Amino acid sequence: MGVLNVTPDSFSDGGQFLDTEKAVEHGLRMAADGAAIIDVGGESTRPGSEPVSSDQQIGRVAPVIKALCAKTDTPISIDTHRFDVARAALDAGAAMINDITALSDERMGELAAERQVPVILMHIQGTPETMQIEPKYDDVVSEVLDFLLSRANRAERLGIAPERIFIDPGVGFGKTLEHNLLLLRNIGRFVSTGYRVLVGTSRKSFIGKLTAKEKPADRIFGTAATVALCAAAGVSIVRVHDVAEMMDVLKVANAVGSALFNRGGSCLT
């Protein structure tokens, strides 16, 4: 899954693709590089970010989604927790909902069920504005997993088929460095639930702490390590900024992993 932030303030590429033409060009480049999904978002969810109105989000993402759908068959995902933004994005041609609040607004689940589109349910502690203010857990892996299973079960009750449900532990969303590492070390517990798993580690600050790389764009090799490990663990989707490079990582990781672990499937990009 390629990341396409149509925002002025995202942590890694804020402002680079706020212009519709540049955003579409970047989306098409990611598709050509091998992205299986393009995830379009109009609101930054970096730590400390403030909310953006639905109208403003729609104004940013709808033209990009329409243009991409006219030029590529690569499915488009909308990264939002707002019902009206998700509805406008689906109307524009998006085919997937990526919700960092895991359908906290039940209308999102009803919309996904009605349109028969997949959903990504992510865990977050707090909000983007507050999530990194001393996040605390007694058992981060169990608590995150229990939350996601609860939300996945609710999604099914709302009419979303299990095969259309993805769970995301929310690396970096209300987690310390140690929390993130524990989640990644135990990602197999999420895979073993039977729901497909998405993991987003690309360029994140915990990688910067481990590698002493201050600039997000310099964290590509650290990101590659997490992508390879997630592929080996059976994760279905990795959400990344650097599609071409991570495609190479996945091609090798999947080839070696299938031989080592005799896995039946492979990690999507």
Catalytic residue positions?
204, 239
* DSSP at 142: H
Phi-psi region of 78 (alpha: psi -120 to 50; beta: other; left: phi over 0): beta
C-alpha distances (whole Å) from 221 to each of 69, 158, 191, 202, 225 are 31, 40, 24, 10, 6
**CB atoms inside a 10 Å sphere around CB 245:** 16
CA 44 from centroid of its chain's CA atoms: 13
- Position 23, amino acid: A
3-state class of 162 per DSSP? helix
Phi, psi of 239 (to 5 degrees): -100, 115
DSSP bridge partners of 122: 168
**CB atoms inside a 10 Å sphere around CB 22:** 14
Are 156 and 165 a contacting pair, CB within 8 Å?
A: yes
Nearest to 179 by CA among 207, 132, 230, 141: 141
